[in-house]
Each structure stands twice: as C-alpha cells, then as structure tokens.
Amino acid sequence: MDSSTEARTNHWCTYGLNSPIVIDDQLFADVQKITGIKTKKGAVEEGLKLLLRLKRQEAVRSRRGKLKWTGNLETMRLDNKV
C-alpha cells in the first residue's frame, strides 16, 4: 500500500470472523452524512445488502426476452377477480 492510500485509509475494522478491512475515512464520512449510519459495520452491511440486491436484479434483467410464456392473459385476469 502506498503512502497516499495509507493516509486515506487508516482505520481497520473487523467484520464477522475477524476479517480486517480498511475503510477510507472520507468515504465513511460521506456515507454517514448522507445516510445517517453511525457505525462502519452498519455501513458495510448496508453496502453488502445493496450489492446483493443489485446483482439479483441484474440476473433477472439478463433473462428479459429469453423466457417463453404460454397462456391466455385475459383468462388469467378473469380468474383472479374476487
């Protein structure tokens, strides 16, 4: 790690099973300001949840137009009336 990176990332966190990660101080300050998240653990957890959600959406979008649907939409709509 070069000295410029070291100056920006001088806080270590442990997450889960003692997995140290380096979090950029300015990045975390920006996250705190915008989200109100108070802890680095909270910020990491929210970031991981968002990444997972985005990747799942990406997987669904990749199937667009590739799945074949058969059936009668009008009949299906009529069957669902209460």
pLDDT, tens digit, 9 for 90 and up, residues 16-68: 556 788 899 999 999 999 999 999 999 999 999 999 999 999 999 998 888 88
Side-chain half-sphere CA neighbours of 14 within 13 A: 3
The pTM of this model reads 0.58
- Residue 66 has a pLDDT of 87
Looking at residue 10, what DSSP letter applies? Answer: -
CB atoms within 10 A of CB 22: 14
52: which 2 tokens? 């997972």
Is the model more confident about 56 or about 75? 56
| Mean pLDDT to the nearest integer, 3-19 | 53
| 15 φ/ψ sector (left φ>0, alpha ψ -120 to 50, else beta) | beta
